[in-house]
Structure 1
Amino acid sequence: MTTHATAAHTTNHAMGVIHILQADLELTGPAAVAAPEAHTVASSLRPDLPLARDGWGNPCLPATSLTGSLRHHAAPHRRRALFGDVYKTPAAKQQDDDGDGGETIAIASPVRVLGTRLTLPDAPPAERRRTAVDRHRAAALATSLHSRELLPPGTELTLWLRIDTTATSSPLVDEVIALLAAWRPRIGGGRTTGYGRAELITVRHRTIDLTTPDGLRHWLTHGGPALVDDHATVVHDRAQTAGGAPDEPHLFGRALHFRIADALHIGSGTRTERPGRRSGPAQILRDHENTPLVPGTTWKGLLRARVEFILRSTGIGDVCASVRDGAPGSCGTCMVCEAFGFSERPRTPADSTPPPDTAGARGHLLFADSPIRDATVRVRNHVALDRVFGGARDEALFAEETAEDGHLTLHIRHDKPVPDLVRAALVLALADLADGTLGIGGATTRGYGTLTAEPATADWLTAQHTPAVNTLRTHTPPAGPAPQETRA
């Protein structure tokens, strides 16, 4: 196989013009940027997925993460011209199919990513724990508890780009600036559960003309971030831009509003320290502003389980059970895996189903964190009872924090089309949530986790219920054996 590389759009750097672009971004939510080499065996002092860090132990963000995001943001027909590519000619593809090898073309990127820098706010990196829930027992799945370290909201990220041209004005530079101005990156993992949301603050452009004494002196006597000095021009400013870059659209064209009907407990995995006692109350999850929180992971897991249950109960197609003891997990091929994404699960020797073609895929639905507004946080005490004497069992008293009387907003967005059947089942799942049939968080069998829809959301769910049922009925196969699924 032969390979040819072309340095497209390159110039004689010794006598050209160097354009340095500095893009400043801010995280508007937590971000999980973990590197493969950082994945270690966790302990009580170390999360399963720690943040990627540099040689000095500071959190860092590889420039490749932002390069991929910016490339994906560009129009498909411009990605090769802006960011290079490695591809095979049609004739080469046919030759490879025949086993004869072929020609590979490599095009260098005219846009160079020089590096990144993170600046954390006063808040340190946070840690979140999460677990999967067994679909049949409706309880935590064994050995599924894990934690990950997160960058806090308000973290500032600086990205430097370099473009070499033959003139001080260049259509290529103007195109990259316009691309940055319309960019709303999602950084790191967990994008479908609200992680990594960021906004562009400013873009500065510094032109260094190497054919002039001043430009050459600046290039030779400065380096790194100092190349972008007071002579740089601000070509984009968030404060002067109305609206900013567009966000992903809501799946139903609106956000959904709920209130807590009783009490809600979503644990953080930690307990309050109490002097002289073995352990304090189990704490609820809070965000960086100390506000009680329903994380995007909870919304995604809860609604996916209910959508799976609804579609299996109606007998529409083959829908997998993504979490189940002794089962292979996500199939990677059904409509639910397409909408919610999937990851490869351990397979049992007795499993005869073919494995997915890939190790996993990101879903099309995006679930954001939901801060609980105007909530009253209280500590509720509980005790186990002695089954023989009927009284309180010794040393069985425990306490937990709960959020009561609060309001929260559910944002379900999408970046690709979602199957109509999944969309209809999701409407019915939300209706079950609003009716109290479906609870959220822990202790739903003893009075916790009931939500009620606000009037506007309740009216919308009522109006959407019949069309959703009709969509499922239209696609339901002819009557056959009754479905065996009886529990969510």
Structure 2
Amino acid sequence: MKVLLLTARIRLETEGGVVGTEVPTERGSDLRLRRDPAGGIHLPGTTVAGSLREHCGEELDDLFGSKPEERKDPDSEDFALTPSAIQVLGTRYRPAVDDPGRDETGHHARTAIDRSRGAARNNALHRVEQLPRGTEFDIMLRWNNPDQRREAFLTKLKSWHPRLGRGVTTGAGKCRLIGWGAADYDLTTPEGLLHWVRRTGLDSYPEPTSQPVPAPAAEPLLNVRMTIVDGLHCGTGDEDKPEQAPREIFRLDDAPAIPGSTLKGIMRSRAEYICRVVGVPACNGQEDDECRPCRIFGSGGHESARRGAIVVRTAVIENPVVEKERPHVAIDRFSGGYKDGALYKDELVVAGQFRLRIDQIGKLEDGDLPLLNAVIADLNDGLIGIGQSTMRGYGTVRVADSDWREPDLSSLASTLRKDAA
């Protein structure tokens, strides 16, 4: 028997990770990273195998065994399953944080939108545990008796730059292959067998020193420069801060930013609204029905869950002007004065620019891109805002890109109705 052992080293270019089961909390749920029985960070082999299978395409698809749809009735005479020739034997976590005094993970908070009120849905706060950028994983693969497809598979492996885990469509989990290595063992010869038995465990796997194929620099589907008109606050969802401390803005590497989940939620909610206005069906993203917004942004239906066709990236704010404390107080409805104990403060970005970047990772149809541009037009017109307190002036932005053009809304409406017919 001949054995091919492979090591692939990937690095997170954005925050991310594979999460486990949701843990209910008083305000929503916590999504914690997958961990092994010893409590260590874990990248499941099933996640790796699924990503590799998709990357290799139809020409090498049979290397990864039978597809679910190929599994026939086990009671029939022609029932048979083909095992995967490529085995994912494990992954090894390489932390980005080497300072024992710092946390090796962080958290990102998000919430769902109530479609009837247009505000945050009650008890829908999700806190997602994430690994920082720079985290690495070594992936160990084994192929017994590799055949003539060996070189074709290695060529594919060298160009593998996956998106793994939860939150891919909001920019999380983007990975880059930074090294790979291959080691062949011929167990039919005394020398090869001796070499095999002398190397045990992880020592038998090669160091990932070979250079991969650089990731292609794909052009974004949309890349629109926008400017902040008035105060903008996208919070961190931190419940552990002192009561009198200002509510802090979200930051990425210490720079004020707008989370991709915030931008995606705004765009999806408004796209649903536009579809309904022109008489096109649009669900809330949690039903077992496929509408146009679900196809573009993804859905969480129990029977029809699917990943969206676009990625809405986190937007770092350039040239930000930050107001550290803007005080607010609630009104006592009985006295008409301020309410005791209801003073709170916000940290705001009152000026700056950012780019709304959207990447395409799936199939789009006629009308999808104009629909996204119609949402941007509503942002530019001030009909919707970004972040907290948009109903009292926060979050207004304008398009500052001279190359951007508003879509023809009449043509868009006709296209949406025609496709829905």
Spell out, residue by residue over 1:320-347, the C-alpha distance to the aligned partner (whole angstroms, 9 max, x if none). 244xxxxxx53522222222221237xx
Question: SS of 1:332's equivalent?
Answer: coil
Is this contact kept in 2: 1:421–1:471, CA < 8 A? yes
Is this contact kept in 2: 1:205–1:234, CA < 8 A? no
Report the equivalent of 1:256: 224
1:362 aligns with 2:302: no
1:336 aligns with 2:328: no
Is this contact kept in 1: 2:161–2:176, CA < 8 A? yes
Report the equivalent of 2:109: 129
Is this contact kept in 1: 2:140–2:205, CA < 8 A? no
1:320 aligns with 2:264: no
- For 1:68 and 1:273, locate their aligned partners in 2 and report how far apart those are by CA, in whole Å: 40
Spell out, residue by residue over 1:45-85, the C-alpha distance to the aligned partner (whole angstroms, 9 max, x if none). x96211111122111111111011000111214201x2122
Question: SS of 1:192's equivalent?
Answer: helix
Question: SS of 1:31's equivalent?
Answer: coil
1:26 aligns with 2:11: yes
Following superposition of structure 1 onto structure 2, how do residues 125-164 of structure 1 map, counting pairs within 5 Å? 125-164=105-144
The CA deviation at 1:306 is 0.8
Spell out, residue by residue over 1:76-113, the C-alpha distance to the aligned partner (whole angstroms, 9 max, x if none). 14201x21226798xx96xx6xx973312222222221
Tell me which of 88, 110, 118 is aligned to 2:93.
Answer: 118
Question: SS of 2:405's equivalent?
Answer: helix
Tell me which of 172, 194, 199 is aligned to 1:195.
Answer: 172
The CA deviation at 1:182 is 1.6
CA shift in 2, pair 1:331/1:111, >3 Å: closer
CA shift in 2, pair 1:121/1:389, >3 Å: same
Report the equivalent of 1:348: none
Matching residue's letter, 1:360: A
Tell me which of 393, 397, 408 is aligned to 1:447.
Answer: 393
Tell me which of 398, 407, 410 is aligned to 1:469.
Answer: 410
Report the equivalent of 1:106: 81
The CA deviation at 1:164 is 2.8
1:41 aligns with 2:24: yes
The CA deviation at 1:365 is 2.0
Is this contact kept in 2: 1:385–1:392, CA < 8 A? yes
Question: SS of 2:236's equivalent?
Answer: strand
Matching residue's letter, 1:366: V
The CA deviation at 1:43 is 6.5
Following superposition of structure 1 onto structure 2, how do residues 232-271 of structure 1 map, counting pairs within 5 Å? 234-235=209-210, 237-238=211-212, 241=213, 244-246=214-216, 250-251=220-221, 254-270=222-238
Tell me which of 233, 244, 249 is aligned to 1:284.
Answer: 249
The CA deviation at 1:375 is 1.6
Is this contact kept in 1: 2:179–2:208, CA < 8 A? no
CA shift in 2, pair 1:205/1:337, >3 Å: same
Tell me which of 135, 160, 171 is aligned to 1:183.
Answer: 160
- For 2:244 and 2:3, locate their aligned partners in 1 and report how far apart those are by CA, in whole Å: 61
Report the equivalent of 2:100: none
Tell me which of 330, 351, 357 is aligned to 1:384.
Answer: 330
Matching residue's letter, 1:258: M
CA shift in 2, pair 1:142/1:56, >3 Å: same
Report the equivalent of 1:396: 342
Identity %, equivalent residues: 33
The CA deviation at 1:303 is 0.7
1:296 aligns with 2:260: yes
- For 1:161 and 1:383, locate their aligned partners in 2 and report how far apart those are by CA, in whole Å: 59
The CA deviation at 1:396 is 1.6
Is this contact kept in 1: 2:326–2:345, CA < 8 A? yes
CA shift in 2, pair 1:446/1:209, >3 Å: same
CA shift in 2, pair 1:83/1:273, >3 Å: closer
Report the equivalent of 1:483: none
The CA deviation at 1:179 is 0.9
Is this contact kept in 1: 2:179–2:209, CA < 8 A? yes
CA shift in 2, pair 1:18/1:473, >3 Å: closer
CA shift in 2, pair 1:84/1:246, >3 Å: same
TM-score by length of 1: 0.77
The CA deviation at 1:440 is 0.6
- For 1:124 and 1:104, locate their aligned partners in 2 and report how far apart those are by CA, in whole Å: 47
- For 1:197 and 1:411, locate their aligned partners in 2 and report how far apart those are by CA, in whole Å: 15
Question: SS of 2:48's equivalent?
Answer: helix
Structure 2: unaligned runs, 5 residues or longer: 98-102
- For 1:300 and 1:153, locate their aligned partners in 2 and report how far apart those are by CA, in whole Å: 21
Question: SS of 1:461's equivalent?
Answer: coil
- For 1:173 and 1:361, locate their aligned partners in 2 and report how far apart those are by CA, in whole Å: 32
Following superposition of structure 1 onto structure 2, how do residues 195-214 of structure 1 map, counting pairs within 5 Å? 195-212=172-189, 214=191
Tell me which of 45, 51, 60 is aligned to 2:42.
Answer: 60
Report the equivalent of 1:435: 381
The CA deviation at 1:300 is 1.5
TM-score by length of 2: 0.88
Report the aligned-residue RMSD: 2.8
- For 1:360 and 1:142, locate their aligned partners in 2 and report how far apart those are by CA, in whole Å: 23
CA shift in 2, pair 1:85/1:321, >3 Å: closer
Is this contact kept in 1: 2:29–2:124, CA < 8 A? no
- For 1:115 and 1:422, locate their aligned partners in 2 and report how far apart those are by CA, in whole Å: 40
Count how many residue pairs are aligned between Structure 1 and Structure 2: 412
CA shift in 2, pair 1:43/1:222, >3 Å: farther
CA shift in 2, pair 1:154/1:282, >3 Å: same
